[in-house]
């Protein structure tokens, strides 16, 4: 996942970031360590110098891998790959029904695509990282051979495999690398469980993060336990911020200066995009001199949302029916899109599900 106004590793150009942090857990800088064994795979994103961050929600751990020679295939770029889940399954010796794509990230240097996959379902799924090159060739990245460092989340939610909704997979729901720091959304085991955290890279210390709450207009209530499902850093009126998507589907802004360790912060709900829906992925891009947010989701197709009103939109603080605040346009030809990232300033790379079921990796023009 990548964003507009920032470089393709989600770095603000010249922005100042303000945050305060308390020491809770520590980790060493990148080293010669190999043999990483993550329990699961969630969001991935690129940092500096071909470093790939990988979330392990079940292990409540974040890994930073030095991709080294595996950062680039012989053929630069990425090609569209129809039926990519079937090709991944064949490569891994399993059935496409056992393949779950967790995330997609484009290497900003080589433009090869990296895809995080679970082989198998639920807690028994095995994490796999794949690379797709400009010829459409798929290669498995040997995670256990990569130099890495890792850092644990403090106070992660306790796993409850038999529960109606196990909170452990939501310990890490999204990540973004910005100006030397990794920002992390997810849940904790605290009373106000929705968290936005930050850690300096190379990893130094992970604090308890900021507890975040929102007013959810469709529910007519303040919520403290719903996680941010997807977010992008974005500058609003020269103020570094996060734009976050929640279940059912509030769109909320958080100034980064407010996200101090140990604080409790209420975001500003700038849109209600419809209930019975979950955000999947977000990017921001520029077209025709204007910035737009593109959000994939489970129920309403890809939403194209103009950002020009993000600063002036009043916060929603009362119960609403349907949609309210910043409006969106449905991009009909991107139906079925689950994951997306910027490929360049004119094109995006998407993982989309066809009407017959298979997943396709596609290069598409930005709408």
35-365: which CATH topology?
Tachylectin-2; Chain A (2.115.10)
What's the rounded Cα separation, in Å, for the pair 212 and 254?
A: 9
131/32: higher pLDDT: 131
What's the rounded Cα separation, in Å, for the pair 362 and 339?
A: 11
Tokens 């308890």 belong to residue: 208
Mean pLDDT of 320-333: 97
Mean pLDDT of 65-81: 96
What's the rounded Cα separation, in Å, for the pair 156 and 152?
A: 9
Beta carbons within 8 Å of 182's beta carbon, 6+ residues apart: 45, 47, 53, 62, 175, 176, 198, 199, 201
Mean pLDDT of 263-292: 97
What's the rounded Cα separation, in Å, for the pair 137 and 76?
A: 11
Q: Is residue 260 within 8 Å of residue 20, measured between CB atoms?
A: yes
Q: What is the mean pLDDT of the chain?
A: 91
Mean pLDDT of 258-266: 96
Predicted confidence (pLDDT) at residue 104 exceeds the cutoff of 50:
yes
Phi, psi torsion values for 68, nearest 5 degrees = 55, -130
Predicted confidence (pLDDT) at residue 16 exceeds the cutoff of 90:
no
pLDDT of residue 81: 98
Mean pLDDT of 3-16: 35
Strand partners, 331: 302
Nearest Cα to Cα of residue 79 among 354, 366, 365, 361: 361
Query: Does the pTM of the predicted model rise above 0.85?
Result: yes
What's the rounded Cα separation, in Å, for the pair 311 and 325?
A: 12
Predicted confidence (pLDDT) at residue 32 exceeds the cutoff of 90:
no
What's the rounded Cα separation, in Å, for the pair 328 and 317?
A: 20
Domain boundaries, the chain: 35-365
pLDDT of residue 49: 92
Provide the H-helix boundaries in 67-122. Answer: 84-92
Angle at the Cα of 339 from the Cα atoms of 103 and 76, rounded to 5 degrees:
75
């Amino acid at each position: 996942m990548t964003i507009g106004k920032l470089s393709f590793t989600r770095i603000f150009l010249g922005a100042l970031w303000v945050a305060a942090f308390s020491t809770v857990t520590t980790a060493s800088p990148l080293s010669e360590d190999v043999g990483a064994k993550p329990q699961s795979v969630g969001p991935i994103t690129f940092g500096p110098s071909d470093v790939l961050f990988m979330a392990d929600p079940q292990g409540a751990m974040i890994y930073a891998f030095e991709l080294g020679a595996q950062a680039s295939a012989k053929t630069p770029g990425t090609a569209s790959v129809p039926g990519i889940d079937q090709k991944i399954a064949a490569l891994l010796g399993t059935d496409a029904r056992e393949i779950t794509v967790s995330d997609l990230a484009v290497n900003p240097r080589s433009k090869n695509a990296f895809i995080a996959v679970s082989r198998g379902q639920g807690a028994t799924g095995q994490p796999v990282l794949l690379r797709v090159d400009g010829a459409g060739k798929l290669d498995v990245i040997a995670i256990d051979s990569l130099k890495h460092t890792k850092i644990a989340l403090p106070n992660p939610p306790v796993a409850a495999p038999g529960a109606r909704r196990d909170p452990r997979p939501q310990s890490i729901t999204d990540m973004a690398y910005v100006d030397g720091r990794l920002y992390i959304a997810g849940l904790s085991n605290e009373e106000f469980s929705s968290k936005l955290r930050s850690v300096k890279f190379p990893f130094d210390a992970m604090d308890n993060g900021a507890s975040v709450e929102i007013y959810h207009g469709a529910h007519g209530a303040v919520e403290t336990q719903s996680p941010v499902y997807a977010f992008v850093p974005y500058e609003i009126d020269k103020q570094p911020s996060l734009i976050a998507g929640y279940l059912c589907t509030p769109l909320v802004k958080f100034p980064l200066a407010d996200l101090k360790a140990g604080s409790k912060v209420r975001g500003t709900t700038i849109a209600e995009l419809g209930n019975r829906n979950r955000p999947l992925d977000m990017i921001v891009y520029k077209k025709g001199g204007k910035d737009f947010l593109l959000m994939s989701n489970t129920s309403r197709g890809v939403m194209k949302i103009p950002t020009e009103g993000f600063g002036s939109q009043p916060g929603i603080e009362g119960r609403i029916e349907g949609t309210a605040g910043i409006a969106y346009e449905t991009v009909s030809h991107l139906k079925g899109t689950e994951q997306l990232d910027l490929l360049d300033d004119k094109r995006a790379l998407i993982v989309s599900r066809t009407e017959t079921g298979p997943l396709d990796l596609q290069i598409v023009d930005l709408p």
